Homo-oligomer: A and B are copies of this chain.
């Protein structure tokens, strides 16, 4: 069960790229990328999109990994985490179902 950070670290290491190179492509300091890879910082949506492009991964896959990480982060110190996620799921289903109506 890898976090987004784990994923891009593996990709970067498999391609034997230094932080510097990838960070330059993202237009940020390598310190930030280092922290993102280790889960100390959350990347922005734009950075995730760029990373998908850079590593030639389906953008949607990266976005799902990133967004779900954010959700986990948001609920993780609540013991009602699971329940909240499930209720949120129902709400989203309800909302998309009634999209455009009324």
Q: Taking beta carbons and an 8 Å cutoff, which residues of A are in contact with B?
A: 1, 60, 63-65, 67-72, 74-76, 78, 80-96
Per the bound structure, the CA–CA distance linking A15 and B72 in Å amounts to 37
Structural contact, A71 and B95, CB atoms closer than 8 A: no
**A59, closest chain B residue (CB):** B80
Chain B contacts of A83 at CB under 8 A? 64
The oligomer's copy count stands at: 2
What's the nearest-Cβ distance from chain B to residue A9, in Å? 17
Per the bound structure, the CA–CA distance linking A47 and B44 in Å amounts to 29
What's the nearest-Cβ distance from chain B to residue A4, in Å? 11
A-B contact sample (12 more), CB < 8 A, given A63-B84, A67-B74, A72-B91: A1-B94, A60-B80, A63-B80, A64-B83, A64-B87, A67-B88, A68-B85, A70-B74, A81-B96, A85-B88, A85-B92, A86-B89
